[in-house]
Amino acid sequence: MNSTAGSQVLLRDTFPTAFAKNLILVMVWFCLSYINGSVVATFFSNQTFYQDPRYILFIHMVINDAVLLTVSVTMTLVSYIFYKISVSICAGLVLVASFTTHNTPVNLAGMAIERYIAVCHPLRHAQICTVRRTYILIGFIWFFSFVPDITDLFVMLAKEPLSFFYTSVFCLRQNVFKEPVLLYRRDVFDVFYFSLVFLMLIYTYLRVLLAARAMSTDKTSIQRARNTILLHGGQLLICMLSYFYSSIEMFLSIIFPVNITEIRYANFLIVFIAPRFLSPIIYGVRDQKFRKYLKRYFFICRHKVHTKVENHEE
């Protein structure tokens, strides 16, 4: 990992290559931000979603992914434009990216549990899955993601001299949080964290599958819940790539040492950018109720734009 970081510091793209990469990145960010913004606007413009835990968890995941996307793109652009930035700014960006990265799998688990309760305990769903408990769960998600990473900051503050925070570094996690023990702690936490979420998804899926076989009515609703949990599992597997980001980058850089910058750029697009398309598409467009209001939102926006154009022409 250290050798990879060192190689990245030595090798830089030419200006045309760097410009093309950043242009593509900004266009993808703008496209995703527009999609996420439309989904968020649809949620907040219809009070019917405010009282449904399923949609509250969904919109929390969309906002979380939007923050992660923005911070990740910012870090990449900064690495191209300024190359090195202040340790304090880099540490803040790394921590926010880490918080939001860890939030997504736990949020997926929460959505899977909500679907499990809706199918297997429909009479108790309204009592268990309340709006208040949903917001408490979101608070727990942030606390669960916040505590392990904030300990890295405390260790860095205790170990590093004050002068270190006034230096500039190429903004990578290992260049800021340099203590080896932090790397091992993070690996252990990630394994435990993902294993717990993965087992939770398997449990909820199997229970819904058993419920589908036992019930003779409402097969469509059960099948939809089962497919939703399967999609949660698929998205979780894609999210797991972020935990192997550095390992993948290091492995490929050994095989193709001349193409380190291309490997890092492609790895970033596949691991961090591509999965961000899934949440609004799978859980927003796929949901019939949300899709209806989303279409209505686009129709209203288009009508307003058309009216403004006509008034301007007059």
Check: pTM over 0.85? Answer yes or no: no
At residue 216, the 3 state secondary structure works out as: coil
Residue 202 has a CB neighbour count (10 Å cut-off) of: 13
Q: Tell me which range, 6-10, 53-57, 118-122, is most confidently predicted by mean pLDDT.
A: 53-57
pLDDT score, position 300: 60
Distances (CA, A) of 30 to 26, 33, 66, 209: 6, 5, 11, 39
pLDDT score, position 42: 86
Q: Tell me which range, 60-74, 208-222, 247-261, is most confidently predicted by mean pLDDT.
A: 60-74
Which pLDDT tens digit goes with each residue over 144-194?
Answer: 888 888 888 888 888 888 888 888 888 888 888 887 777 777 778 777 877
pLDDT score, position 138: 94
pLDDT score, position 130: 92
> What is the rounded distance in angstroms from the CA atom of residue 222 to the CA atom of residue 225?
5
Any idea which residue has 């408990």 for tokens? Answer: 133
The whole-number average pLDDT for the span 229-243 is 70
> What is the rounded distance in angstroms from the CA atom of residue 312 to the CA atom of residue 36?
29
At residue 48, the 3 state secondary structure works out as: helix
- Whether 36 and 280 have beta carbons less than 8 Å apart is answered as yes
- Whether 204 and 115 have beta carbons less than 8 Å apart is answered as yes
pLDDT score, position 303: 52
Which pLDDT tens digit goes with each residue over 246-271?
Answer: 677 777 778 877 777 788 788 778 77
Which pLDDT tens digit goes with each residue over 86-144?
Answer: 988 999 999 998 888 888 888 888 888 888 888 788 888 889 999 999 999 999 999 98
CATH of the domain at 286: 1.20.1070.10
**Residues of the domain holding 301:** 2-313
The whole-number average pLDDT for the span 28-43 is 87
8 pLDDT band (50/70/90 cuts)? very low
pLDDT of 10 higher than 60:
no
Any idea which residue has 């190359």 for tokens? Answer: 83
Number of domains into which the chain is organized: 1
310 pLDDT band (50/70/90 cuts)? very low
pLDDT score, position 9: 41
Tokens of 227: 């497919």
How many alpha carbons fall within 13 Å on the CB side of residue 272?
Answer: 29
pLDDT score, position 314: 53
From 243, 239, 253, select the one nearest 189 (Cα to Cα): 243
Give the chain's mean pLDDT: 79
- DSSP one-letter string for 2-27: HHHHHHHHH----HHHHHHHHHHHHH
